[in-house]
């Protein structure tokens, strides 16, 4: 590009020097008239140009003014016309409406029920939005997660206003009589909203079992509250590690010194760099500890060469940090498992929650006082939320051929008084599939394969296995929303915001591209790690 600009500047300079005479230099008006004539000629040549494709077909001129740098494709050597704002909006809306109609038809053909997640978000320009996401198994027995609405909410954000907005969206999409469940976090407005929405749906007799299985609490949010409770008792070790990272990242000079320390101590994997944690996200604290521990010797070396570095953790502090990191690791793994949107998660709920309970009980008598106190506080918070679990998630575990919940099997066997065996009886009597030989088993694929043997049970499995046990899908849309609405672009109309975000999700799912991450803030792009050597590494951070 630099060479092109230089050549263009040289050509223009040569033209001016060749056409200007001695009298021209003393007459600015003559110079201006000739320069205008040159530009006019160049414009006319641009209008007459045509573009030829690979098959020899010729097109009409793409523009009627001189070529600008913004219009030139330096790689292909071709030029393109500018698209007006109104044309772009019209094209996007046409594409959005076409895709919306296709999605409507797909959901109408779905024999099973549709599960929902919803969450609220405040944009950069302090406007409130609510995101509603549908989860359903399509005709090909594949789990789909599609954003139905990303619409602006006018203050006040009360439960009744939220419920009316969601019900309006369900009516618009024609699925108000196909809803099975709604997964929400623990905000008080959400509790009121689901109560009101459940009443509205029950009035038209569209919920199963009078809505007993309608409300599902977000497990990722509950896990966050449980771990945050444990982090409240962390001692000076965590503080010193956090302050050490903050000190190094405070200036470029300190980062250069730290890199030298890393080179001097040697044998440190620098693929993942230092990172600060976000107070509201416990998993970021886990990542901070995990990354900092790798640079333990480098921090010690820095304390010897930099007299201003006062908060270097001691050996005991690092050992405490390692204990905390290992204690939090299972919670991070389970949160990642719960946060999936491309595979069923409801069937994993009971087994993983049982693992958490066992882990907490095991550490109630830990020899380290810090871990013991963390486990005690976390177990108390765990017991508080365990009593509010949804019974439907137990049935999801029964419908997983790897588990089948033995207690439930015994209960069914003892209580069975029907004349013949039902589909459920036959299914439960069959031997469980050993997880050792099917670690990545496709549960929906199993029911697709056996749909002719269990026609009724397979349809129920589709409904129950579609239940998302976290609202991460809706929260992921806010990361995309931060790409569309940011400090550089915050004047888009709410309807246009919805069209952009929904269409992007329908085409690409919830994946965030590298280009998108660059436009996000620190919170939204917390899964971008900057290496010590300055390059970037992508990781999957759970919410």
For the cut 80, the answer to whether the pLDDT of residue 526 exceeds it is no
Tell me the average pLDDT across 220-231.
Answer: 91
For the cut 70, the answer to whether the pLDDT of residue 19 exceeds it is no
What are the pLDDT digits (tens) for 241-299? Answer: 999 999 999 999 999 999 999 999 988 888 888 989 887 788 889 999 999 999 999 99
The highest-confidence range among 17-31, 390-404, 452-466, by mean pLDDT, is 452-466
Q: Which residue in 306, 369, 346 sits closest to 463, CA to CA?
A: 346
Q: Which pTM value belongs to this model?
A: 0.76
Query: What is the tally of helices (H) and strands (E) in the chain?
Result: 22, 11
What are the pLDDT digits (tens) for 164-189? Answer: 999 999 999 999 999 999 999 888 88
| 91 compared with 33, residue with greater pLDDT | 91
What's the confidence (pLDDT) of residue 25?
35
Tell me the average pLDDT across 468-485.
Answer: 85
What's the confidence (pLDDT) of residue 245?
95
| 108 compared with 29, residue with greater pLDDT | 108
Q: Which residue in 65, 67, 93, 91 sits closest to 79, CA to CA?
A: 67
Across 481-517, b (16+ Cβ under 10 Å) vs e yields bbbbbbeeeeebeeebbbbbbbbbbbeebbebeeebb
What are the pLDDT digits (tens) for 414-461? Answer: 555 555 678 888 888 888 887 776 667 889 999 999 999 999 999 999
| 470 compared with 235, residue with greater pLDDT | 470
What are the pLDDT digits (tens) for 41-75? Answer: 444 343 334 444 444 444 433 333 334 444 445 45
Across 175-194, b (16+ Cβ under 10 Å) vs e yields bbebbbbbbbbebebbebbb
State the DSSP code for 486: B
Across 417-437, b (16+ Cβ under 10 Å) vs e yields eeeeeeebeebbeeeebeeee
Give domain limits for the chain. Answer: 87-218+470-527, 224-342, 391-466
- Confidence band for 329, pLDDT divided at 50, 70 and 90: very high
Residue 295's DSSP bridge partners are none
Contact 424, 412 (CB under 8 A): yes
Lowest mean pLDDT among 477-481, 512-516, 518-522: 518-522
């Amino acid at each position: 590009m630099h060479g092109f600009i230089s050549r263009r500047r040289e050509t223009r300079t040569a033209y001016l020097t060749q056409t200007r005479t001695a009298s021209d230099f003393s007459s600015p008006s003559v110079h201006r008239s000739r320069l205008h004539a040159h530009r006019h000629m160049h414009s006319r040549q641009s209008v007459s140009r045509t573009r030829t494709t690979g098959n020899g077909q010729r097109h009409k001129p793409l523009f009627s003014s001189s070529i600008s740098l913004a219009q030139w494709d330096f790689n292909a050597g071709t030029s393109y016309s500018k698209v007006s704002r109104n044309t772009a909006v019209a094209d996007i809306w046409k594409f959005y409406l076409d895709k919306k109609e296709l999605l409507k038809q797909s959901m109408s053909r779905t024999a099973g029920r549709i599960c929902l997640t919803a969450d609220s978000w405040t944009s950069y320009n302090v406007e409130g939005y609510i995101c509603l996401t549908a989860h359903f198994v399509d005709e090909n027995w594949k789990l789909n997660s599609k954003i139905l609405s990303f619409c602006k909410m006018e203050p006040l954000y009360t439960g009744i206003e939220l419920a009316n907005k969601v019900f309006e969206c369900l009516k618009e999409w024609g699925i108000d009589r196909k809803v099975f469940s709604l997964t929400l976090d623990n905000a008080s407005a959400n509790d009121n909203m689901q109560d009101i929405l459940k009443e509205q749906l029950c009035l038209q007799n569209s919920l199963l079992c009078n809505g007993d299985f309608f409300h599902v609490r977000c497990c990722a949010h509950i896990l966050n509250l449980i771990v945050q409770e444990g982090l409240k008792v962390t001692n000076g070790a965590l503080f010193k590690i956090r302050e050490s990272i903050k000190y190094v990242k405070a200036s470029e000079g300190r980062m250069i010194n730290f890199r030298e320390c890393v080179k001097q101590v040697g044998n440190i994997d620098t693929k993942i760099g230092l990172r600060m944690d976000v107070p509201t996200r416990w998993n970021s604290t886990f990542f901070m500890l995990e990354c900092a521990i790798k640079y333990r010797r480098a921090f010690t070396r820095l304390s010897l060469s930099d007299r201003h570095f006062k908060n270097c953790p001691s050996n005991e502090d690092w050992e405490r940090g390692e204990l905390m990191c290992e204690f939090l690791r299972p919670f991070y793994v389970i949160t990642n498992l719960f946060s999936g949107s491309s595979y069923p998660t409801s069937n994993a709920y009971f087994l993983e929650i049982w693992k958490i309970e066992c882990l907490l009980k095991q550490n109630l008598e830990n020899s380290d006082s810090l871990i013991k106190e963390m486990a005690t506080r976390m177990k108390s918070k765990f017991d508080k939320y365990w009593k509010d679990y949804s019974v439907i998630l137990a049935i999801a575990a029964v419908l997983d051929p790897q588990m089948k919940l033995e207690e439930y099997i015994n209960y069914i066997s003892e209580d069975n008084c029907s004349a013949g065996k039902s589909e459920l009886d036959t299914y439960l009597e069959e031997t469980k599939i050993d997880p050792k030989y099917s670690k990545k088993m496709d549960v929906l694929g199993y029911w697709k394969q056996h749909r002719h043997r269990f026609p009724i049970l397979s349809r129920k499995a589709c409904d129950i296995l579609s239940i998302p046990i976290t609202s991460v899908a809706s929260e992921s849309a806010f990361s995309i929303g931060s790409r569309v609405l940011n400090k550089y672009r915050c004047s888009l109309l709410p309807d246009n915001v919805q069209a952009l975000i929904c269409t992007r999700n329908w085409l690409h799912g919830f994946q965030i591209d590298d280009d998108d991450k660059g436009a996000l803030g620190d919170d939204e792009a917390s899964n971008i790690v900057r290496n010590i050597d300055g390059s970037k590494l992508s990781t999957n951070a759970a919410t």
